Chains A and B, each alone.
Chain A
């Protein structure tokens, strides 16, 4: 007996994962990762950010650009600090902002994640700012979102945190100008850091002179050198002639997971103290994506010292996020506009 199967064609999965960031006219619609942006878009975002950073220096720190648009902060992993900077950026663009903290609610399964999306789309949202603890979550949401919604990745798992990397590049550019002659060192927990991955992409796209990572092998992912970095395990060697030192946050779980013996040993070997900072160039700047663990990865006198630009990073972050939001909304002015 013959069995008949007449079924519709099965759609094929998009082969280029980063192309989804652009619309059919080549405009930036979503910002999910630095990959695929290229130096032109990165530079354009940084240049646009200059204008917005100057707005935040004024008395009235607000422009009417996104009046009537709605930005929804979808935070599946709680992070007050990051959420606040996105919220402030959206508000300074005169957008309406909705904060949804979904970290505690029952949105752990993909099905309900899609359901959450559909519900918020129905509220005529224009942009989702997404933070999720799983790598690839922002891509997943961008793939399934309605055509009038832009997605901004505010950190997914260990994968990507593009606005953080852009604001770091912005801060470096303001202090150092040209990237091609710079030596930059990223220190600490690279393995679990979406920030470090995005920083590597952004700095290599901008053709940075040399990019180094300094960490014990337990905190480095397999084949990290394929991301275009030189690997060091020793701070004295790694910081030599460095113009920019980026410290990463070390989470306490790393000790429990057997990646490190103790905070004390990490601090002794890799914590940025005044003594170790002296191994870098005298005019080196010190950066940290925050919040810093003083006495674990960085000494207070360094974090608050003259070479630290940590607080500048925070204020630049608002301008950079304003720039990204405006650019993505430029591409997306469909049904709700």
Chain B
């Protein structure tokens, strides 16, 4: 197995993402949105958006460990820092943030968990990178960058300070 790494431009992607959300917000599509990041990479992206968009309420953090659909094959994920939603989500507009949108299963789990906290008015999805390989009918409202990747390619996001993203290609030798 050989691996090759290529750095992806993170800051540019965040700036593009932020610009899209800002413009949609000005058009009145979102009312006083609540930003919620999915643990862990999504929280870093959400944190950057939260600062840039100047939201009044604290950032929400969602740990979807208890909602994953791979418990039966992978068991309990070792990462268990609890979800932190200090604001009531009932009737609110929510920007759900993740680092990479791949199969869509993480977003599915996150939405299920959100609904156990309350009934939001609207959930919009913002991701840093949207790649192919979807297994569920889920699509991001905003994406920092679109990527068409092969089955042997993966995006690794590390952070939070500095945040980096690498495109890793694994080849059977």
* Contact status of A58 and B80, CB under 8 A, knowing A63-B67, A331-B75, A337-B72: no
Inter-chain residue pair count (beta carbon < 8 A): 59
Contacts of B83 in A (CB 8 A): 51, 54
Q: How far is the CA of A66 from the CA of B63 in the complex (A)?
A: 17
Tell which of B76, B80, B117 touches A60, judged by Cβ atoms closer than 8 Å.
B117
Tell which of B67, B72, B75, B82 touches A50, judged by Cβ atoms closer than 8 Å.
B82
Contacts of A50 in B (CB 8 A): 80-82
Check B72–A58 contact: CB distance below 8 A. no
CB distance from A191 to the nearest CB of B (A): 37
Is B152's beta carbon under 8 Å from chain A?
A: no
- Number of chain B residues whose Cβ lies closer than 8 Å to a Cβ of chain A: 20
Q: How far is the CA of A125 from the CA of B84 in the complex (A)?
A: 34
Contacts of A65 in B (CB 8 A): 66-67, 71, 76
Is A8's beta carbon under 8 Å from chain B?
A: no
Q: How far is the CA of A333 from the CA of B116 in the complex (A)?
A: 26
Contacts of B78 in A (CB 8 A): 44
Q: How far is the CA of A54 from the CA of B58 in the complex (A)?
A: 18
Q: How far is the CA of A51 from the CA of B82 in the complex (A)?
A: 4
Q: Mark A83-106, 1 if CB is under 8 A from B, else 0.
A: 000000000000000000000000
* Contact status of A333 and B80, CB under 8 A, knowing A51-B66, A62-B116: no
CB distance from A149 to the nearest CB of B (A): 16
Q: Mark B16-41, 1 if CB is under 8 A from A, else 0.
A: 00000000000000000000000000
Is A219's beta carbon under 8 Å from chain B?
A: no
Is B160's beta carbon under 8 Å from chain A?
A: no
Check B80–A64 contact: CB distance below 8 A. no
* Contact status of A51 and B81, CB under 8 A, knowing A64-B112, A65-B66, A333-B75: yes
Is A231's beta carbon under 8 Å from chain B?
A: no
Check A58–B81 contact: CB distance below 8 A. no
Tell which of B66, B73, B75, B84 touches A63, judged by Cβ atoms closer than 8 Å.
B66
Contacts of A59 in B (CB 8 A): 116-118
Q: Mark B83-117, 1 if CB is under 8 A from A, else 0.
A: 11000000000000000000000000000110011
Q: Write the chain A residue with the least CB distance to B65.
A: A51
Contacts of A54 in B (CB 8 A): 82-84
Contacts of B71 in A (CB 8 A): 65-66, 326, 329-330, 333
Check A27–B75 contact: CB distance below 8 A. yes
Check A326–B76 contact: CB distance below 8 A. yes
Contacts of A63 in B (CB 8 A): 66-67, 113, 116
Contacts of A331 in B (CB 8 A): 75
Contacts of A329 in B (CB 8 A): 71, 75-76
Q: How far is the CA of A63 from the CA of B68 in the complex (A)?
A: 10
A residues in contact (CB < 8 Å) with B: 27, 44, 47-48, 50-55, 58-60, 62-66, 326-327, 329-331, 333, 337
Q: Please give 8 more A-B residue pairs, beta carbons under 8 A apart, in addition to A27-B75, A55-B82, A326-B76.
A: A48-B76, A51-B65, A51-B83, A52-B66, A62-B116, A326-B66, A330-B71, A333-B72
B residues in contact (CB < 8 Å) with A: 63, 65-67, 71-73, 75-76, 78, 80-84, 112-113, 116-118
Can you pick out 19 interface pairs between chain A and chain B where the beta carbons lie within 8 Å of each other?
A44-B78, A51-B66, A51-B82, A54-B82, A54-B83, A58-B116, A58-B117, A59-B116, A64-B112, A65-B67, A65-B71, A65-B76, A329-B75, A329-B76, A330-B71, A330-B75, A331-B75, A333-B75, A337-B73
Top 9 closest pairs, chain A to chain B, by CB: A330-B75, A54-B82, A63-B66, A60-B116, A51-B80, A330-B76, A337-B72, A51-B82, A48-B80
